[in-house]
A = this chain, B = another copy of it.
């Protein structure tokens, strides 16, 4: 159980998605816990089953996995962003991915089992999380588009345009793997643009 005041910003974000009754807010809050993780430490390790829905309260985190021994970044989460390993959470399989704090980060954790039980009593909570997942789905479809048939330069230009925060706060090696290109290639592109 966590203090309402501490989570005001987070609750506000949820409210924009789907307003909840006071009771429903309290029920969700009763499941929330705050989890501080230091920079470069992992919240979740590769190979474990993911049974928790996370949001970033403050800080910055990523999901990454290993491909031929090289880290590939799948996703970045900023303040109030959802961060879940969907391929494990929704399937029950062990995840091939890790969640890592890129800055000192405080996560909000909501254990999935009790949350799903809440859905039975409170359809409005289920609706909220349905919409959260819908948004995540739309974002992922959009991200696929930005990668699918685009050159390295196009991907970088689009990222600059759509997510200028990324370049400010995230190291270039992580940006590169997020774009699906090598650090060297990204460096080259930046040199050419300049």
A residues neighboring B (CB under 8 Å)? 65, 67, 70, 72, 74, 86-87, 90-91, 119, 123, 126-127, 129-130, 133-138, 140-145, 147-150, 177, 180
Contacts and interface: CB of A to CB of B under 8 A. Distances in A.
Contact of A141 (B87, B148, B149, B177): B87
Ranked nearest first, the 7 interchain pairs of A and B with the lowest CB-CB distance are A123-B123, A137-B137, A130-B130, A148-B180, A90-B134, A140-B140, A72-B149
Taking the full assembly, how many copies of this chain does it contain?
2
Contacts of A90: 134-135, 137-138
28 contacts: A65-B145, A67-B149, A67-B150, A70-B149, A72-B148, A72-B149, A74-B144, A86-B137, A87-B141, A87-B142, A90-B135, A90-B137, A91-B138, A123-B123, A126-B126, A126-B130, A130-B133, A133-B133, A133-B134, A133-B137, A136-B137, A137-B140, A140-B140, A140-B141, A140-B144, A144-B144, A144-B147, A147-B180
Nearest to A85: B141
Contacts of A144: 74, 140, 143-144, 147
A149 B177 contact: yes
A74 B145 contact: yes
